[in-house]
Amino acid sequence: MDVRDAYEQWADAHAFFDTAPIPAPAPHRGDPLAEQTGQWERRLAETPNGHLLRGNALFDALRGGGTLHLLHVTHALERITEHGVLHPSGGCLVGSVYCAPLTPTDSGLRMHNLGAYILDREAPAFVARSGGAPDRTPTPLVFELRLPEQAYRGLAGIDYLRLGGIHLQIYSRLEYLLSKAERHRLRESVVSRTKNCTALLSMAAAIAYEGARVPPGFFLRLLDDALPRLPILGYVYFEALAEYLMLHSTAPRTVRLAAAGEFDNWLYKEMLFTTLPHTAGRFDLATFRPPTGDFDAFLARIDSTVDPAHARAYLTERISHLIAARLFTRGQIPGAWHHRRWEFDSLTAELGPLLGHMIHRELRTFGRYPDFYFYYDQHKALQAWNYWNHMDIVVPFNGTFPKGEVGINPAYPDLDYRVWRAEQDAAGLLHPVEELALTIAPRLVDIKHTLMRSSRWAEPAAPAPV
């Protein structure tokens, strides 16, 4: 694959939230989902909180340039100050220092509600799970980041659901780290899992491409059956449900946060940590599986202002669209499901992104590959950093949905920042109290040492949703 191909793949992996969308070039107008994608953009914008998709506090700060203040929560301050180095982690931001926005006020730095949840509720839960050792106290770090004049003023967010093709491309380059028998077994596993989810995939294709009407209860049961076989569907389901809650909630807290230009992250955070406690401390969205039998009660425990019947219908259409748009090869309409050749190479033509996502998940535990997995994600991060530097993106953000998750590009050559240990006052505001001599190094933390993957607290990785 040449440099141009890699550049285009990474460009396609980003969502652009510019106020005036740039018209798509002619080849992309042939995309069978192009019209439907536009319809979804309008539909999302018309929801109670849809105005925040294009105008929010984070986007205002990124457009304005100048100085940004960001919060990073660490559980290993003593370790990182000893070495003087902070490493980025993988996950939804690929290879960034995971942060949340801060807003300067006359009384201190106000945390975005995402950062407040991480610092006040999520991080302490991780500490409790680890045994509450005193050297693992959650510590807020404040970054003061000065954006250079050439920094990209557009809004390009990385969408990890669009990384399937990139995962497949990287594996094709590194597959010989596996033995011939391991490669064969991996391919057979991926094909078998896909083949046994034909009912859901064909149903989603019919809804997305043909406008088929399917009872939401039936679709969600099919989805529930497929989740154990296709782990990426857990991520899709989570993002669709989190999106629905943040867009449609009219609860007092949500309304108050919207007035401040913020989506209400507590909705999906509480869903994960309270309603689905088995996910607490793991962040393995591959196991995300809301109950189908009492879905209405499940939703009511999260937010009583949303309509469960409307949510089920929305999720049926939205998840079908995301399956088609993110997991099928762009421009292809998979058909004749029972007549196709169920072989890896032939499936990549129509389902390449799906296979790429599945391989990316499988490799974490497959054969000897866990020993090499760090290099797989490091390879991906290098490509992302190269694209971000090409575009002068200093602060990437999660473009799957602009929740408020932002990162610091650790490989940016003109990165200009200062970092402080901060303390929180009784009003919840942060105050920098000690400047730290820390360097951000463009090298990923090994996935084995991140909080979201293991209870081994070896590096200061921040909690992340994937």
pLDDT, one tens digit per residue, over 340-364 is 889 999 999 999 999 999 999 998 8
- Asked whether 159 and 15 are in contact (CB, 8 A), the reply is yes
| pLDDT for the residue 133 | 58
Q: What is the dihedral of CA 246, 251, 256, 259, to 10 degrees?
A: 50
pLDDT bin (cut points 50, 70, 90) of residue 62 is confident
- Asked whether 226 and 197 are in contact (CB, 8 A), the reply is yes
Long-range contact pairs involving 369-378 (C-beta distance under 8 Å, separation at least 24): 369/177, 369/178, 369/182, 372/174, 372/177, 373/447, 374/444, 374/446, 374/447, 374/448, 375/174, 376/170, 376/171, 376/174, 377/90, 377/95, 377/444, 377/447, 378/95, 378/443, 378/444
pLDDT, one tens digit per residue, over 154-180 is 899 999 999 999 999 999 999 999 999
| pLDDT for the residue 455 | 39
Please name every residue paired with 142 in a beta bridge, in sequence order, or none if there are none.
71, 420
pLDDT bin (cut points 50, 70, 90) of residue 461 is very low
Question: Residue 235: which residues within 8 A CB-CB, separation 6 or more?
Answer: 160, 161, 285, 286, 288, 466
Classify residue 49 by burial, with Cβ atoms within 10 Å: 0-12, 13-18, 19+.
buried
pLDDT bin (cut points 50, 70, 90) of residue 67 is very high
| pLDDT for the residue 90 | 87
- Asked whether 281 and 164 are in contact (CB, 8 A), the reply is no
| pLDDT for the residue 129 | 72
The answer to whether residue 134 scores a pLDDT higher than 70 is no
pLDDT, one tens digit per residue, over 14-61 is 999 875 555 555 545 567 898 899 999 999 999 999 999 999 999 988
| pLDDT for the residue 374 | 84
| pLDDT for the residue 220 | 97
- CB count within 10 Å of CB 103 equals 17
From 215, 212, 241, 237, select the one nearest 226 (Cα to Cα).
237
Range of weakest confidence among 74-88, 282-296, 350-364: 282-296
The answer to whether residue 256 scores a pLDDT higher than 90 is yes
The answer to whether residue 279 scores a pLDDT higher than 60 is no
Of 456 and 212, the structure prediction assigns the larger pLDDT to 212
Question: Residue 317: which residues within 8 A CB-CB, separation 6 or more?
Answer: 207
pLDDT, one tens digit per residue, over 200-213 is 999 999 999 999 99
| pLDDT for the residue 250 | 98
Range of weakest confidence among 11-15, 190-194, 304-308, 368-372: 368-372
| pLDDT for the residue 465 | 36
Task: Output the six-digit token pair for 177.
Answer: 């780290």
Of 451 and 260, the structure prediction assigns the larger pLDDT to 260
| Stretch 243-267: mean pLDDT | 98
What is the chain's mean pLDDT, rounded? 88
| Residue given tokens 């296979």 in the structure block | 355
Question: Residue 83: which residues within 8 A CB-CB, separation 6 or more?
Answer: none
From 466, 204, 173, select the one nearest 327 (Cα to Cα).
204
Between CA 124 and CA 118 the distance in angstroms is 8
What does the buried/exposed string (b/e) look like for 175-192 if buried means 16 or more CB atoms within 10 Å of the residue's CB? eebbeeeebeebbeebbe
Question: Residue 71: which residues within 8 A CB-CB, separation 6 or more?
Answer: 99, 100, 101, 102, 109, 111, 112, 115, 119, 140, 141, 142, 143, 422, 430
Please name every residue paired with 69 in a beta bridge, in sequence order, or none if there are none.
102, 144
pLDDT, one tens digit per residue, over 292-342 is 889 999 999 999 999 999 999 999 999 999 999 999 998 888 877 878 889
Question: Residue 112: which residues within 8 A CB-CB, separation 6 or more?
Answer: 57, 58, 71, 100, 101, 102, 103, 262, 265, 404
Q: Using CA of residue 236, residue 239, residue 243, residue 249, what is the dihedral sign?
A: positive
| pLDDT for the residue 281 | 55
| Stretch 65-84: mean pLDDT | 91
- Asked whether 289 and 227 are in contact (CB, 8 A), the reply is yes
